[in-house]
Amino acid sequence: MKYVDGFVVPVPKKKIDEYKKIARKMGKIMKEHGALDYVECVAEDVKKGKITSFPQAVKLKRTETVVFSWISFKTRKHRDRVWEKAMNDPRMKDLMDPKGMPFDGQRMFFGGFEVMVKY
Tens digits of per-residue pLDDT, 51-91?
Answer: 999 999 999 999 999 999 999 999 999 999 999 999 999 99
Tens digits of per-residue pLDDT, 4-40?
Answer: 999 999 999 999 999 999 999 999 999 999 999 999 9
Class assignment of domain 3-114?
Answer: alpha beta
Q: What is the reported pLDDT for 103?
A: 92
Strands 64-73, 37-42: pairing kind? antiparallel
Q: What is the reported pLDDT for 101?
A: 87
Strands (E), the chain: 3-12, 37-42, 64-73, 109-114
The CA distance from 49 to 14, in Å, is 24
